[in-house]
Amino acid sequence: MRLFLAIAAISGALAVLLGAFGAHLLKHMITPEMLEVFKTAVQYQFYHTFALLAVGILGSQHHSRLLKWSGCLFIAGTAIFSGFLYLLAITGIKALGMIVPIGGLSLVAGWICLLVHILRIKSRN
């Protein structure tokens, strides 16, 4: 679970850097519509950085395959969802947007794994 915590720390730092890049440099280089796409990528990266942090913290107390799946799905989902939105915003290649929902589904699956893990902990107590 330390790996999830480390990746969350890296993801958080990257989200800050990418957010600053978008706010200060990129806003003069792309359309307002694409800037909104970029901002959405940063927001979802931050949300799931915190989710991954929670998985790492929970995992230090309660080991389970569901938590590992949740963390892996958050990592993959963030990379795909936010990553392809970043690429879409910077390149303007609309076809990249077709891959984004795969990342979204991974993120949803990560939340479902986390939920099932939590429900199982509660039922054991």
Tens digits of residue pLDDT in 18-49: 999 999 999 899 999 999 999 999 999 999 99
pLDDT score at 118 = 93
Q: Please tell me the distance from the alpha carbon of residue 30 to that of residue 10, in angstroms, as a whole number.
A: 26
* Domain carrying residue 7: 2-124
CB 103 within 8 Å of CB 77:
yes
- Say how many domains are in the chain: 1
E strands of the chain, at which residues? none
CA distances (Å), 45 to each of 10, 56, 80, 89, 121, in order?
A: 11, 16, 10, 15, 27
Query: How much is the average pLDDT of 117-123?
Result: 82
pLDDT digits (tens, 9 = 90+) for 70-114: 999 999 999 999 999 999 999 999 999 999 999 999 999 999 999
Q: With 80 as the cut, is the pLDDT of residue 122 above it?
A: no
